[in-house]
Amino acid sequence: MTKPVQWGVLSTAAIAVNQVIPAMANANLTALRAVASRTLSKAETVATQFGIPEAYGSYDALLADPEIEAVYIPLPNGLHAKWSIRALRAGKHVLCEKPITVNAAEARELEAAREASDLYCLEAFASRFNPVQIQAVEIARSGVLGDLRFVHTIATFLMQTQDPDDVRLQADIGGGALYDIGCYAVDAQRLLAGRVPKTAWADMAWSERFDVDIAGTALLNYGDGLRGTLQWGFNAPWGGPFSLVGENGKLTGPYGWGAPKGEPAMLLQAGGATEAIPVEEGLNGYTAEVQDLSEAVRGLHAPAFETESLVANMRIIDACYASQRSGRAETV
């Protein structure tokens, strides 16, 4: 039997403890060997909770463990580039939480480190493994809609806290709604459009207290007649519908990326007919992204999103923030 890939987790962040570590238990060829925190007692608590063999009181100590082959990095956004590069240089494959960095310049540095290492470094967008999004992208690229003209994506949730210790509200480590939740709408739209836009114009609700964006809207111009709109925020309930319009038809997801049981996930209008498209539930997205990398490390296949640029999303996000500052459309 093929030996499971030995994983380590850098940080005891909530997304790791509540989502990814539990999901790892269901991923093929995956064994969680170690967890690290800057405070050893926190790492020991999580290790005990999940039966993880090793707990480390520093991230460097985990990276020095010769048994660990891959790491999951759920650190604050501003630390993603630094620790992803360190992990690659330590000989570990990397699955780093979105957004992969806080700007395109850092993303280019990370891509260069990945190329130099000959290891995998992937952005942890669990949404990319959502079966509705997968099928929507397939339809968008199939040609059934004709030349694409309009695309809309949205990502929101209602933040319940105004705690200044919440990393999502700390500007100096990459806080803000576009980084935290809007990046999902950016990534989904770029995959649906099949390319990077040429310009972005954005308008954001800005928190003077925290100096981060709380919500925003952006207009993206992809050229060749295709335009997109993005919405994101900490100020509305989870999710929202998406839509894609072409010269020959329209695809809508009235429930976003998750439809209630018994309801169609999408509606495809083309050729004078309307087709309700059901989508079966797939593997949990967090499980799927870990399993995808584990199977790739063992040579079963290439990672599903190996060819996706680490820079593309960050170019769009950079342009949106630049537009917020300038008040005009900015080049992506």
Mean pLDDT in order along the chain per 10 residues (332 residues) = 94 97 98 98 98 98 98 98 98 98 98 97 97 97 97 96 92 97 98 98 97 98 98 92 98 94 95 94 94 98 96 98 98 98
Q: How far is CA 153 from the centre of its chain?
A: 14
**Torsion sign across C-alpha atoms 320, 321, 324, 328:** negative
What is the C-alpha to C-alpha distance for residues 251 and 228, in angstroms, rounded to an integer?
Answer: 14
pLDDT score recorded for residue 245: 98
pLDDT score recorded for residue 137: 98
CB 34 within 8 A of CB 14: no
Give the chain's largest Cα–Cα span. Answer: 63
Q: Where in the chain is the domain with CATH 3.30.360.10?
A: 129-282
Instruction: Kindly give, in sequence order, each residue whose CB lies less than 8 Å from that of residue 304, ignoring residues fewer than 6 positions away.
Output: 128, 129, 292
Q: Where in the chain is the domain with CATH 3.40.50.720?
A: 5-124+285-303
CA-based nearest residue to 124, from 105, 99, 106: 99
Instruction: With both helix axes pointing from N to C terminus, report the angle between 312-326 and 104-117 in degrees, rounded to the nearest 10.
Output: 170
Architecture of domain 129-282: 2-Layer Sandwich (3.30)
What is the C-alpha to C-alpha distance for residues 73 and 123, in angstroms, rounded to an integer?
Answer: 10
Partners of 75 in the β-ladder = none
Identify the helix (H) or strand (E) that includes residue 244.
strand 242-246
What is the number of alpha carbons within 13 Å of residue 281 lying toward its C-beta? 8
User: What one-character DSSP code corresponds to residue 158?
Assistant: B
Pairing state of beta strands 242-246 and 249-253?
A: antiparallel
Give catalytic status of residue 98 as yes or no.
Answer: yes
Place of tokens 């269901």: 26
Place of tokens 């040429």: 198
Catalytic residue among 92, 98, 198, 250: 98
pLDDT score recorded for residue 281: 86
Burial category of 151 from C-beta neighbours within 10 Å (exposed 0-12, middle 13-18, buried 19 and up): buried
pLDDT score recorded for residue 5: 98
Burial category of 309 from C-beta neighbours within 10 Å (exposed 0-12, middle 13-18, buried 19 and up): middle
CB 200 within 8 A of CB 323: yes
What is the C-alpha to C-alpha distance for residues 293 and 149, in angstroms, rounded to an integer?
Answer: 34
pLDDT score recorded for residue 13: 96
CA-based nearest residue to 233, from 277, 283, 179: 179
CA-based nearest residue to 230, from 220, 238, 239, 221: 220
Partners of 245 in the β-ladder = 150, 250
Q: How far is CA 298 from the centre of its chain?
A: 23
How is domain 5-124+285-303 classified at the CATH fold level? Rossmann fold (3.40.50)
126: helix, coil or strand? helix
pLDDT score recorded for residue 239: 81
Residue 260: asked if its preceding bond is cis (omega within 30°), the reply is: no
Q: How many CB atoms lie within 10 A of CB 178?
A: 27
User: What one-character DSSP code corresponds to residue 64?
Assistant: T
